[in-house]
Amino acid sequence: MAQGTFATTINCMDGRTQLPVINWMIERFGVDYVDSITEPGPDGIIARGQPQLLDSIKTRVLISVEKHGSKTIVIVGHHDCAGNPGTKEMHLEHVRKSMEEIKSWHLKADIYGVWVGEDWTVEEIGKI
């Protein structure tokens, strides 16, 4: 088991979202480190259930939870996403569906959804 406390983010590869989400998670959850799992538009990938990419994401989340002891998983949707273009409402729906999918993995972790708006601030949209 790694030293220090960890949380896990499933975030877009878009560099504009990285630091706002990591900083928010460190402050919100009081963790030392954030394991970052990135894909272009991960909320869409998980919500649509794209098998090959979904399996890859799940494998990396399992490493974070099982090897680093992460107790928190955050799925991110964001403004101006090139990998999953669409409205805020679409992203919120994808984030909520993604949270349900991640819940079905039966991990010992809390699952949160967040939205990163056009000002690059993080808005918590739910927890399951």
CATH number of the domain bearing residue 80: 3.40.1050.10
Tell me phi and psi for residue 122, to 5 degrees: -95, 130
| pLDDT value at residue 89 | 97
For residue 1, pLDDT beyond 70:
no
% residues pLDDT > 70 (the chain): 98
Cβ neighbours, 10 Å, residue 83: 16
Beta bridge partners of 33: 6
Note whether residue 118 is domain-resident: yes
Q: Is 1 exposed, middle or buried (0-12, 13-18, 19+ CB in 10 A)?
A: exposed
% residues pLDDT > 90 (the chain): 97
Note whether residue 99 is domain-resident: yes
Note whether residue 42 is domain-resident: yes
Sign of the CA dihedral with 114 first, then 64, 128, and 24 last:
negative
Distance between CA atoms of 89 and 72, rounded to whole angstroms?
A: 24
Tell me, yes or no, if the pTM score tops 0.85: yes
- What confidence tens digit (pLDDT) does each residue in 8-46 have? 999 999 999 999 999 999 999 999 999 999 999 999 999
Note whether residue 1 is domain-resident: no
C-alpha distance from residue 45 to each of 3, 18, 24, 77, 84 (Å): 31, 18, 23, 11, 8
Distance between CA atoms of 19 and 25, rounded to whole angstroms?
A: 10
Give how many domains the chain has, as a whole number.
Answer: 1
| pLDDT value at residue 3 | 86
If you average pLDDT over every residue of the chain, what do you get? 97
Note whether residue 122 is domain-resident: yes
For residue 81, pLDDT beyond 90:
yes
Distance between CA atoms of 47 and 95, rounded to whole angstroms?
A: 7
Note whether residue 87 is domain-resident: yes
| Token pair 């729906």: residue | 93
Residue range of the domain that includes 42: 6-127
